[in-house]
A = this chain, B = another copy of it.
């Protein structure tokens, strides 16, 4: 599995390279995009020999900043690590794209370079969130702020394919993110309800933010604004709660002793809610997975590379082709002559 890695993102080049080296040791082939000299130096620092077959360095002298205007940057910086990495995917030299950079620029670079699967209208960003009962796949997690009901339906089809093929949930429950209050739904959600209900998916109905945290659905669909709010609120609350817990445990001598006794139990708890996976998100509905990593270090980059390989190898795209085609056929059949 070949993965094109943009080393010019949010993470330092050194951390990205360490993560990529780890991914190569895990079995992936890595194409690493960034300033060649710096990349080689960083590779040597983590004991990857110069001519290692598993890691190839591709020189990309430019980088796109996190605050740059995405459209202008993508237009003007053809030699940036992101665009060169996306180009490698577009020419079939890599089977997945991984970046920790400017999300809107990643989305744009992907839309220019990676083909959409036939029939897919808006490739959603999917993110796995820790919940009290395992993980929920949330999509769209922050890319398409304004959606129509049929986009939400497609997110459901894509999310269910991901859950079946990547997460191995044979009959995933799909929920529509809602307010939980009849009479206060917005128009898009209201119109998407019947579409999802008659879609052939295992539809869990409207779910609210509380249901997401409790893990009541395997797949949660919504527009990108609500998705971003849900994702960041959940992750932010879990992290802030974990932080408050940490402070409470450092409170006094007795608390410290208690904390020492509880260490293993608490580590597991923190891992469940704030693990590295939640920091990866993937654009679905494209010929090749595009993984965006928000993590803080090499570990998260390695996890993102594993995720990219897993998705590319899962066969979920065949599944998607089928379900989007099936749906299109039944829509066409229902159309008045």
Contact = CB atoms under 8 A, between A and B. Distances in A.
Nearest to A248: B265
Given A146-B187, A181-B103, A181-B104, A235 B248 contact: no
Contacts of A70: 182-183
Interface in A156-200: 177-187, 189
A238 interface: yes
B251 A257 contact: no
A254 B248 contact: no
Interface string A250-269: 01101101111110011011
Contacts of A329: none
B208 A229 contact: yes
Interface in A226-263: 226, 228-245, 248-249, 251-252, 254-255, 257-262
Contacts of A237: 213, 233-234, 237-238, 241, 273
Contacts of A230: 209, 229-230, 233
B145 A185 contact: yes
A273 B240 CA distance: 10
Interface residues of A, number: 73
Given A249-B265, A255-B265, A268-B248, A209 B236 contact: yes
Nearest to A177: B229
Nearest to A266: B248
A244 B179 contact: no
Contact of A233 (B103, B209, B248, B258): B209
A202 interface: no
A209 B225 contact: no
A128 interface: no
A132 interface: yes
Contacts of A229: 177, 179, 208-209, 222, 226, 229-230, 233
A104 B225 CA distance: 23
A189 to B, nearest CB: 7
A214 interface: yes
Contacts of A251: 265
A285 interface: no
Contacts of A257: 258, 261
Contact of A209 (B180, B222, B228): B228
Query: Of A259, A268, A269, which is in contact with the most chain B CB atoms at under 10 Å from its CB?
Result: A269
A212 interface: yes
Given A142-B181, A146-B186, A241-B269, 11 more contacts: A142-B180, A178-B228, A179-B229, A184-B224, A210-B232, A214-B236, A226-B226, A226-B229, A230-B233, A241-B241, A261-B261
Question: Which are the 9 A-B pairs with shortest beta-carbon distances?
Answer: A209-B232, A209-B233, A258-B261, A210-B236, A104-B183, A213-B236, A145-B186, A179-B228, A132-B240
Interface of A: 67, 69-71, 103-104, 131-132, 142-146, 177-187, 189, 208-214, 222-226, 228-245, 248-249, 251-252, 254-255, 257-262, 265-266, 268-269, 272-273
11 contacts: A69-B182, A103-B183, A208-B228, A210-B235, A210-B236, A213-B240, A234-B234, A241-B269, A244-B269, A245-B266, A258-B261
